[in-house]
Amino acid sequence: MFDPVEALKEFIRHPSVSADPAFKAGMAGARDHIAGLLGRLGFKVEVVPTPLHPVILAEREGPESWPHVIIYGHYDVQPADPLNLWTSPAFEPEVRRERLYGRGAADNKGPLLVHVAAVARLLERRPDLPLRITFMIEGEEEMGSPSFPAFLDAHAPRLKRADFVLLSDTGSPRPDQIVITCGLRGLVLCDVEVTGPRTDLHSGLHGGVLRNPIQAVAELCASLHDAEGRVNVPGFYDDVLPVEAWEREQLARLGQSEEQYREFLGIPAFHPHKGFTPFEATRFLPTLEFNGIGGGYQGEGTKTVIPSKAFVKLSCRLVPNQKPEKIRELLYRTIAERMPKDVTYRIVDQHSGTPYVVVPPDRPNTPRDQSPVLARAFRAADSAIAEVFGKAPLYLREGGSVPIIADIKRVLGLDSVMMGLFLPEDNLHAPDESFHLGVMAKGIAASERILEGVAAGGR
């Protein structure tokens, strides 16, 4: 048995920044560390090369009659900049009060080690546990997992025979209130680039005869929402399913006040969203957001140009039952119809599109078309979390999009049980990232019970 906190410290000491080639040694170190841990637990470890960073596949094999869980995680981390804002160095782990500080502590090294430690304890106690376990640990999550879909395709014949995926790469509101994430929004991304004159023009000599591409972009953007804040793309809401009563009921138990949320965002007021609380709006409604806009002179002072080009970066978050392909088509058609004819434009598709994900837990009034093993995993998670953390979990959809969860569903046909172990205070992707050691200890105990519960029933 290893000490999970010491293992996490060692994991953090390997600076595994996937996006920066300067951290090649850190990537290899982090990979070796986690591969070594799993090897010592008796797993058959394979380091599968990809065009960029290898995926670790570690298997505990067994007969077909044993349930089979895939545990997902990632060993790469975000860059640690700005370094000067860290209280202790990003890659020198330090415990202060109930937290362990360091880049990757929460995203995702700590939560990943929660499941490794749970497996270690469980197998020490029950070496003959009838459960097949495959760790699937990638090294490109913080870059958008570019190699992961091809990896899944290549290993699909082997992996798709598993029963479900277990992971902790989502959030919970408080240390005593764990969330099981049962849905994620989908995503469609594109840039719209508008060209007016062939070159930047003097706005005095030529202003007044042509449409400024900034104006064309602004007019397009302004047309994409109505006064109530709804997306003004014909057909956009056609396939949106109504929210189920149990989902609103779960969310109402989140226990956050609108006023606190408004203060956290630092805005004078919420933007209208008729019939939805702010907490509902971010989870249950689709959106169209502007992630970036640019054109012309952006420096200090002034430069009186009419720019040749301007652009906007758009993204749509999708909810059940919106399809990325259809939304993209509606959006592109709307842009084409509204774009004035005295400019030219092109759309740069930034992403093949991520579908929404729903994993309805095994609860009253939810669809029960899931496999017996998955249904048992949800029941085990429910009772394990209730017992260990002292409160039943909440079942919530999250507003974000995790492409790998959609990929796993699409390629392998597997649903994911997502036990949220991040807290808002963990500072993901920011200086002074940390992981709550109490959550870590309880997470290990909960994961151990979940896995034991899954094993208990056979297939």
Residues 285-304 that bind a second copy (CB under 8 A): 285-287, 289-298, 301-304
DSSP of 128-195: T---EEEEEEES-GGGT-TTHHHHHHHHHHHHTTS-EEEE--SB-SBTTB-EEEEEE-EEEEEEEEEE
Binding mask 376-405 for a second copy (x = CB under 8 A): ----------------------xxxx----
- Smaller CB distance to a second copy: residue 223 or 371? 223
- Smaller CB distance to a second copy: residue 1 or 290? 290
Residue 363 interacting with a second copy (CB under 8 A): no
- Smaller CB distance to a second copy: residue 91 or 284? 284
Restricting to residues 22-81, name those near a second copy by CB under 8 A: none
Q: How far is the CB of 122 from a second copy (least distance, A)?
A: 33
Helix (H, G, I), strand (E, B) or coil at 55: strand
Q: How far is the CB of 419 from a second copy (least distance, A)?
A: 18
Restricting to residues 242-271, name those near a second copy by CB under 8 A: 261, 265-271
- Smaller CB distance to a second copy: residue 38 or 406? 406
What is the three-state SS of 405-437? HHHHHHHHCCCEEEECCECHHHCCCCCCCEEEH
Q: How far is the CB of 51 from a second copy (least distance, A)?
A: 16
- Smaller CB distance to a second copy: residue 230 or 459? 230
Q: How far is the CB of 197 from a second copy (least distance, A)?
A: 5
Restricting to residues 325-354, name those near a second copy by CB under 8 A: 341-344, 350-351
Applying CB under 8 A, the site for a second copy has a residue count of 77
- Smaller CB distance to a second copy: residue 142 or 415? 142
Q: How far is the CB of 115 from a second copy (least distance, A)?
A: 23
Restricting to residues 401-420, name those near a second copy by CB under 8 A: 401
DSSP of 216-266: HHHHHHHTTB-TTS-B-STTTTTTPPPPPHHHHHHHHTT---HHHHHHHHT
Place of tokens 């929210």: 243
**Piece in contact with a second copy (CB under 8 A), picked from 41-49, 110-118, 310-318, 383-391:** 310-318
**Contact (Cβ atoms closer than 8 angstroms) between residue 112 and residue 38:** no
Restricting to residues 189-218, name those near a second copy by CB under 8 A: 189, 196-199, 201-212, 214-215, 217-218
Helix (H, G, I), strand (E, B) or coil at 30: helix
**Piece in contact with a second copy (CB under 8 A), picked from 148-156, 232-240, 275-283, 327-335:** 275-283
Chain centre distance of CA 143: 12
Cα 437 from Cα 420, distance rounded (Å):
14
Token reading at 61? 């094999």
- Cβ contacts of 127 within 8 Å, gap of 6 or more: none
For residue 238, which phi and psi values (nearest 5 degrees)?
A: -55, -40
- Smaller CB distance to a second copy: residue 205 or 365? 205
Helix (H, G, I), strand (E, B) or coil at 21: helix
- Smaller CB distance to a second copy: residue 5 or 421? 421
Q: Rule CB under 8 A: choose which of 55, 152, 162, 187 binds a second copy.
A: 187
Closest CA to 80 of 174, 14, 152: 14
